[in-house]
Structure formats: structure tokens, C-alpha cells
Amino acid sequence: MISLFNQSGSGRGQTVVASDAATRALSVTAVENDFVERVYTDISWWYDLFFGPTLQAGRLEAIGRLPLRPGDRILEVGVGTGINACLYPRDCHVTGIDFSASMLAKADRRIAARGVRNVDLQQMDAAKLEFEDDSFDLVYAPFVISVVPDPVQVTREMHRVCRPGGHVVVLNHFRSENRAMAWAERILSPLTVHIGFKADLDLPAFLLQTGFEPISIAKVNIPRIWSLVTFRKGC
């Protein structure tokens, strides 16, 4: 049994009981790192043209909701082409990682062109973060948890490198609570994975399997089918 917050993050929501949530697959679609790398190599040239404008409202709203303070050390997991990297306050230090060399090359060009000096980029597997425990004040994964082979391991790694009292934040599309929509998302997921995401990621199972309870879940972007899930690491 897992208790979830309501979608506005303003209070306790309904308790969801799912006997198999601790063990069931998070998606009907499984991927491996080599597949993900090929997909993002293929889509890197048009990623900004489509996902730039369609997800920008969600990016801006999410950045505004992040619990940021001057001087914070931020890790962005799945920095992609660097769209988010240019949105952070300049008084924070940002480390952006990505598995795809093609996406990182675009991010490097974007950051250089815009004169962004507070962002460093590294190629890295999010499931095996090459950082010490408690290295960052905020660890943020925008639009990436439904891409990686093992969302639970990635989230646990994000939690490990976050300092006690800091925040781990996931921005992602999760499977709808509407049965008809959920059915459609399961059907579409083997197709959408070829453009970079699984359409049917199971939020209750994801939360239960990570072992972390969010302090808030807020809907962002237009349409509001993306969720900003915020965790606070215990002291």
C-alpha cells in the first residue's frame, strides 16, 4: 500500500492499493542502453524542432517550482540538447549529464552560443552516477525517467548523490488514471519509444519500487499530462 499526494501537491490524496505494484513491470516496453543511444542519435537533429516548443511550457513551469537557492549545486540528469541548462539561475552551479554523445554535442554548442558559464557537461550513465554520495543540493530529471532502461535504479542513484535535506525532482509523463487512456498508452508505448519515451510508465508502481514518497506531485505543461514529482531526502 502506498499513499500518494493529490495532483496539486496541496494535501494528501487517495490511498492506492495495488497488490502487485512492488513487482510489476513499469511499462509494457523494455529498452537497453544501446537502443536508447541509437534512438537519440537518430532524433538529435530534430529533437529541438519538435520537443523544444511542445515541452517548453512545462520546462518553464517546472523551473519556477524547483526549490532553488543561490549557490545551489544542481545535477540535471538527461540534459539532452541543453534547453533546460539555459534556464537555471546564474548563481547556481549546474552539472548536466547525458548518455548520448550526439545530444551532448548539441548542448555544448547551445551553452557556448548563449554564453552560459555556470553549466558543466559530462557523458554518463544515469544508472551508475560517477559522483560521491551527498554531492548535490538538487537532482533533477526532466523528461528522462521514461527513457532509461531502469527508472527505479536511476531514481535511487539520484537520491544517493543528493545531500540530506536536498530535493530529487522528476518531470515526466506517466500512464493515465483513465482506463481508456491507459489502454491507449500501453498500445502506443512500443511505438513512442522510437521517438524517445515510453508512454505508459506506471507512477504508483514506480513510487513503491523506489521506496521514496513524494512531498508533492503537480501537473505541468499544456496539455497537463506531465507530472512534476518532488522528493525530499531525509536528514
Query: What does the DSSP assignment read for 184-203?
Result: HHHHHHHHHGGGT--TT--H
Cell of 115: 554564453
Write the pLDDT tens digit of every residue in 96-115.
999 999 999 999 999 999 99
Rounded to two decimals, the pTM is: 0.90
Beta bridge partners of 230: 169, 216
With cut-offs at 50, 70 and 90, classify the pLDDT of residue 168. Answer: very high
135 in Cβ contact with 107 (< 8 Å): no
50-86 pLDDT, tens per residue? 999 999 999 999 999 999 999 999 999 999 999 999 9
Can you tell me the distance from the alpha carbon of 231 to that of 188, in angstroms, rounded to the nearest whole number? 29
User: Which residue's C-alpha cell is 546564474?
Assistant: 90
Cis omega before residue 142 (within 30°)? no
Domains and CATH numbers, the chain: 2-232 (3.40.50.150)
In a 3-state reduction of DSSP, which class is residue 125? coil
Q: How far apart are CA 92 and CA 29, in angstroms?
A: 37
